[in-house]
Amino acid sequence: MTENEDVTEIRRAVRALCEEFPGEYWRAKDRARDYPAEFVDALTKAGFLAALIPEEFGGSGLKLDAAAVIMEEIQASGCNGGAAHAQMYIMNTLLRYGSDAQKAEYLPRIASGELRLQAFGVSEPASGTDTLSLRTVAVRDGDDYIVNGQKIWTSRAEHSDLMLLLARTTPPEEAASKTEGLSIFLVDMREARDAGGMSIKPIRTMMNHSTTEVFFDAMRIPASSLIGEEGKGFRYILSGMNAERILIAAECVGDAKWFIEKAAAYAKDRTVFARPIGQNQGVQFPIARCYAQMRAAELMVHHAAAAYDQGGNAGEEANMAKLLASEASWAAADMCVQTFGGFGFAEEYDVERKFREARLYTVAPISTNLILSYLAEHVLGLPRSY
Amino acid sequence: MKILVPVKRVIDYNVKPRVKADGSGVDLANVKMSMNPFDEIAVEEAIRIKEAGKADEIIAVSVGPAKAQETLRTALAMGADRAILVETDDTVEPLAVAKILKAIADEEQPGLIMLGKQAIDDDSNQTGQMLAALMGRPQGTFANTVEIDGGSVIVKREIDGGLETVKLTMPAIVTTDLRLNEPRYASLPNIMKAKKKQLDVKSPADFGVDTAPRLTTTNVSEPPVRQAGEKVADVDAMVAKLKALGIA
Ligand SMILES: Cc1cc2nc3c(=O)[nH]c(=O)nc-3n(C[C@H](O)[C@H](O)[C@H](O)COP(=O)(O)OP(=O)(O)OC[C@H]3O[C@@H](n4cnc5c(N)ncnc54)[C@H](O)[C@@H]3O)c2cc1C
Ligand SMILES: Cc1cc2nc3c(=O)[nH]c(=O)nc-3n(C[C@H](O)[C@H](O)[C@H](O)COP(=O)(O)OP(=O)(O)OC[C@H]3O[C@@H](n4cnc5c(N)ncnc54)[C@H](O)[C@@H]3O)c2cc1C
């Protein structure tokens, strides 16, 4: 596969930026569960988080395939794009379904870094994977909506100015169909917090991910924050989720590359029994297998990004890319720890930190089982299982 | 004022080079290539001079294979204004590069030519000096700081034991040392803009330069593997050891 020159240049520039954020930086952040604000600022200033924003709004107008390369390269450099990736994937919902007025108001300020669009409020404590059963409600009141309810796992909420919020606007029993009645809002979090309608509570997790619970208590938002038509939010979000899955898959490919490179370098260097451990097939075969698995996933990710960029429904490709890439990165993570032996557990090698970080992606943003049931039902025509 | 910045495509500094089995050179197949780090410093310095309002245009030049266009695009993405590739697949020795650069300088009339002090592949450390001699212009090599002062350039040079300051009348040749600056990384909008910048492709013949090598490489080999050292008990034992080795 030969990549075009732009992509090569983008990879090189992302690498160069990431070199300024070495392992020590991430270890310190991880220990303190501290948001990597400097890294996110650097990415923003260099324009990478505005890759998908059209040029007329101050971005670079690139396609998802280029955005995927940026996320992949961040992970392959040992950094953690999880601190900033939402800006890339939320963007697509705003780009595809936002009104001209919404785009003109927000996109230039997001591109310049003045506004951060990093929070995506979908998951709720009681609905989990079953998004359609979410309970947060938005009720029209004159020129406003009033929102009540709760989100969970809303990552980066404390480090974002805007939130893309999915809430129910028509009760399920009154909705035209099962998938109607949900709506998407672009919420100005600063106003909502100042007015007391929104509060945020951090959740400590096994890795540094700045995830939170968000509570809405009669939060009043202007009706102009509705994206697209009322009641069509689920359809909009599905398309945005395909972009998200492809970008997360690209991050997983980057992680897998990091683990494989680390493991191969270590296996060449580490000598026990008077020879490099990588001379033993018991050590080299798992590395080789992970490499093959990563390459296959990488091809699927590019294929999915191309399908998405052509328009239309890339659901099948996006889901398969996410499935294969998250499994490839997790396999590589486990292999890397095994190759490093005891040293894989020591903080200073970064392997244990990346291992913890990589574990997320077979669960979130969509868990493997749900991808398999999608493929079974929607691609292979098997009966719906749930 | 124009600044001419020659940039070379070399094996990436992170790559551990491998010598070809027949000893004819270093194996470059499927090896990551990048801009020579000293040239990156030269590009950065030129951009800073331009940003300070003391230069109008930065022209990046590379002598090398078609792939060296990538290296030029990197220079353009950092902030150079246009680029010239003098395309050849042959090995070009420092003297031939210097002759080509002189021909380009004759056309472009830059006030400053900023080169890396050496390329990390062959470590020749000759091109800048040869170019200065061919052009009959002053040179400030191993630059630690560069300051434009009217029609002159003041260069603090890194020399054994300290810094030497020289003042050169422009047009002048400067070669960069490691501590001159920290090169920037390209921003995404600048990468996109770089696509639209002019990149001319020429050949050595366009400048009437014969690039046929004048040196023959007889053999390239891996550096010898470092032998394990030996611990000595005290100073006396060390002196005795050094004497035994014939060093002291
Ligand atoms: C660190 C982190 C960050 C997150 N960030 C965000 C965010 O920013 N925004 C956001 O909205 N959400 C976020 N999430 C939430 C994430 O999307 C959910 O955790 C994920 O969708 C799974 O939902 P759940 O945790 O409720 O699991 P459940 O839905 O309770 O599922 C639990 C298990 O049961 C399985 N399962 C459930 N139903 C079926 C079925 N029908 N068939 C087979 N298996 C089934 C699942 O595969 C899973 O293994 C984040 C989560 C984490 C951990
Ligand atoms: C949390 C923790 C607690 C520990 N506690 C103790 C303790 O209390 N006391 C103590 O003495 N030690 C302790 N250890 C050390 C532990 O026993 C070693 O880490 C373990 O024996 C592996 O050695 P190593 O880490 O040097 O790996 P290495 O020997 O470097 O091995 C690295 C990898 O290469 C593989 N490998 C090596 N040689 C071959 C071969 N010939 N063929 C195939 N594969 C090969 C290994 O299986 C492994 O996957 C601890 C380690 C940890 C992480």
Q: Residue-wise pLDDT tens for chain B (248 aa)?
A: 999 999 999 999 988 899 999 999 999 988 999 999 999 999 999 999 999 999 999 999 999 999 999 999 999 999 999 999 999 999 999 999 999 999 999 999 999 999 999 999 999 999 999 999 999 999 999 999 999 999 999 999 999 999 999 999 999 999 999 999 999 999 999 999 999 999 999 999 999 999 999 999 999 998 888 888 888 899 999 999 899 888 77
| In contact, B162 and B48? CB cutoff 8 Å | no
Asked if B191 contacts A4 with a C-beta cutoff of 8 angstroms, the reply is no
pLDDT of residue A5: 66
Query: How far is A135 from A137, CA to CA, in rounded Å?
Result: 6
Single-letter code of the amino acid located at B212: A
DSSP H helical ranges for chain A: 5-18, 23-32, 37-45, 64-76, 85-97, 100-112, 189-194, 233-269, 281-309, 315-340, 351-358, 368-374
- Report the number of distinct structural domains present in chain B: 1
Residue B17 inside a domain? The answer is yes
Q: Which amino acid is at B181?
A: N
pLDDT tens, A176-223?
Answer: 999 999 999 999 999 999 999 999 999 999 999 999 999 999 999 999
Q: What DSSP assignment string belongs to B188-222?
A: HHHHHHHHTS-EEEE-GGGGT-----S-------P
User: What's the CATH number where B68 sits?
Assistant: 3.40.50.620
Residues of B with CB below 8 A from A48's CB?
A: 188
Which residues contact residue B5 at a Cβ distance below 8 angstroms, ignoring those fewer than 6 apart? B39, B42, B43, B46, B58, B59, B60, B61, B75, B80, B113, B114, B115
Of all residues in chain B, the one with the smallest CA distance to A8 is B70
CA-nearest residue, atom 35 of ligand 1: A369
Which residues in chain B (21-40) have CB-CB distances under 8 A to chain A? 34
> Is the Cβ of A10 closer than 8 Å to some Cβ of chain B?
yes
The span from the CA of B120 to the CA of B113, in Å, is 19
What is d(CA B174, CA B111) in angstroms, rounded to the nearest whole number?
A: 11
Preceding peptide of B94 cis, ω within 30°: no
Q: Tell me the torsion sign for CA atoms B117, B121, B123, B126.
A: negative
Tell me what pLDDT residue A268 has.
Answer: 96
Give yes or no for A9 touching B (CB within 8 A). Answer: yes
Q: Using one digit for the tens of pLDDT, what is the confidence trace for A77-88?
A: 999 999 999 998
Residue B152: other Cβ atoms inside 10 A: 15
Nearest atom of ligand 2 to the alpha carbon of A340: 32
According to CATH, the topology of domain A119-232 is Butyryl-CoA Dehydrogenase, subunit A; domain 2 (2.40.110)
Query: How does A194-223 read in b/e, with b if 16+ C-beta sit within 10 Å?
Result: eeebbebeeeeeebbbbbbbbbbeebbbee
Beta-ladder partners of A164? A120, A186
Alpha carbon of A366 to ligand 1 centroid (Å): 6
What pLDDT, on the 0 to 100 scale, is given for residue A1?
Answer: 38
Name the β-bridge partners of A214. Answer: A151, A200
Is A264 in CB contact (< 8 Å) with chain B?
Answer: no
Residue B104 lies in a domain: yes
- Is any ligand 1 atom within 6 A of the Cβ of residue A23? no
| Residues forming CATH 2.40.110.10 domain(s) in chain A | 119-232
CA neighbor of A88 nearest in space, from A129, A30, A122, A47: A47
Q: What's the pTM value of the predicted model, to 2 decimals?
A: 0.90
Per the CB < 8 A criterion, the answer to whether A166 and A233 are in contact is: yes
Q: Which fold has domain A234-379?
A: Butyryl-CoA Dehydrogenase, subunit A; domain 3 (1.20.140)
Question: Shortest CB distance from A48 goes to which of B69, B188, B194?
Answer: B188
Q: Match domain A5-116 to its CATH number in 1.10.540.10, 3.40.640.10, 2.60.40.60, 1.10.3720.10.
A: 1.10.540.10
For chain A, percent helix, then strand, then coil, each to nearest 5? 60, 15, 25
Short-list A309, A325, A308, A312, CA closest to A366: A325
Distance, CA of A2 to CA of B30 (rounded, Å): 12
pLDDT (average), residues A240-248: 94
Q: What is the ipTM of this complex?
A: 0.86
The amino acid that residue A100 corresponds to is D
The answer to whether A3 contacts chain B (CB < 8 Å) is no
Residue B41 near residue B138, CB atoms below 8 Å: no
Q: What is the number of the ligand closest to the CA of A346?
A: 2
Kindly report, residue by residue over A18-77, the tens digit of the pLDDT.
999 999 999 999 999 999 999 999 999 999 999 999 999 999 999 999 999 999 999 999
A216 Cβ contact partners less than 8 Å away, ≥ 6 residues apart: A136, A147, A148, A149, A150, A151, A197, A198
Which chain B residues are Cβ-neighbours of A60 within 8 angstroms?
188-189, 191-192
Report d(CA A86, CA A252) in Å as an integer: 15
| AA identity, residue B145 | T
Q: Cα(A126)–Cα(A119) distance, rounded to whole angstroms?
A: 19
- Which has more confidence, A1 or A346? A346
B9 — contact with chain A (CB < 8 Å)? no
